[in-house]
Amino acid sequence: MTPKLIALDMDNTLLKSDRTLSHQNATILKKLHADNHHIVLTTGRPFPNVQPFLTQLELNKNDDYVILFNGGVVKNINTNETLLNKRFTLSDMSEIFNLIHNLNLPIDIVCPEIVYSIADFGQSNYVNLIGKLLHYQQVSITDLPTTLTFNKFVVCETEDKLNYLENILNHTPVLTKNISFTRSRRTLLEFVPSNVSKGAALKVLLKKLSLTSKDLIVFGDEANDLSMFKLATVSVAMANAIPLIKSAATDITSSNEENGVATFLSSYFNL
């Protein structure tokens, strides 16, 4: 059998709601990895918040990769070779930052090793989402170095406020010509450089591994997973996925709390 590339969103897909990896999911993925299938975590998270799960899954081969920042970074886990690394600069974002500020919404800037919470914009709940593996610092935007580059920024707010912001952005193309934005959960809107997506990153990785979309199996639950659902031959939505993802999927499995990843893969590979 041709090795498959199994791409997995993490939060509310592979991981349980308490952000842990179940024994059932880990066991199935480690078995498939031992059988030379590629297991690729495909997430909006930066590397420090992914590394413990890479270790838990024993992803330690020379051709093991991870996709970070919703497709902004494609990185070899063991050699640190970077296939893709798309970033913003502060000057790129001045106009959209002003818009968000005027709407009284918070902004958190996410770099590979640190999150900057912009004090001028107010405190968000994002600090409670990132865990303790990533340094979190509240700063004034004028205190940030003008040379700062970063892979994404986020607005963490109520669903209604994010719906309102998305509606404005969708009708203001002059502000969004250099960015892409998508929900990774209902209360989190993530911004990455234009043309960055999980699907675009997977295309780069498939080419590197001499595979095609026919060899791709993807799992997800949220809007930021849609691009990889459109690419894959087999796309699996969790029972807890939003309607958009369920309608785009070729298959639906049980929820992230019910080991839906392990359930589907055990059946698909007759394990």
137-155: pLDDT as tens digits:
999 999 999 899 999 999 9
Q: What is the pLDDT of residues 176-223, one digit of tens each?
A: 888 999 988 899 999 999 999 999 999 999 999 999 999 999 999 999
Which percentage of the chain shows pLDDT scores above 70? 100
Tell me how far apart the alpha carbons of residues 254 and 13 are, in angstroms, rounded to a whole number.
10
- What is the reported pLDDT for 70? 96
56 and 23 share one domain: yes
Which domain-ending residue is among 149, 168, 193? 193
Tell me how far apart the alpha carbons of residues 149 and 86 are, in angstroms, rounded to a whole number.
10
144 and 213 share one domain: no
Task: Name 147's bridge partners.
Answer: none
132 and 180 share one domain: yes
Write out 140-190 in H/E/C secondary structure. CHHHCCCCCEECEEEEECCHHHHHHHHHHHHCCCCCCCCEEEEEEECCEEE
Which domain-ending residue is among 144, 170, 193? 193
Q: Is the pLDDT of residue 25 over 80?
A: yes
What is the tally of structural domains in the chain? 2
135 and 55 share one domain: no
Task: Name 88's bridge partners.
Answer: 150
* Reported confidence tier of residue 1, pLDDT bands at 50, 70, 90: low
205 and 231 share one domain: yes
106 and 174 share one domain: yes
160 and 94 share one domain: yes
CB 146 within 8 A of CB 91: yes
Q: Lowest-confidence range among 14-23, 123-132, 209-218?
A: 123-132
Q: Is the pLDDT of residue 174 over 90?
A: no
156 and 232 share one domain: no
Residues spanned by the domain of 242:
5-85+196-269
- What is the reported pLDDT for 267? 96
Tell me how far apart the alpha carbons of residues 219 and 1 are, in angstroms, rounded to a whole number.
21
Q: What is the pLDDT of residues 77-119, one digit of tens each?
A: 999 999 999 999 998 898 999 999 999 999 999 999 999 999 9
Which domain-ending residue is among 193, 215, 249? 193
125 and 175 share one domain: yes
- What is the reported pLDDT for 221? 97
79 and 203 share one domain: yes
User: Is the whole-model pTM more than 0.85?
Assistant: yes
154 and 108 share one domain: yes
Q: Supply the CATH number for residue 202's domain.
A: 3.40.50.1000
76 and 92 share one domain: no
3-class SS of residue 75: strand
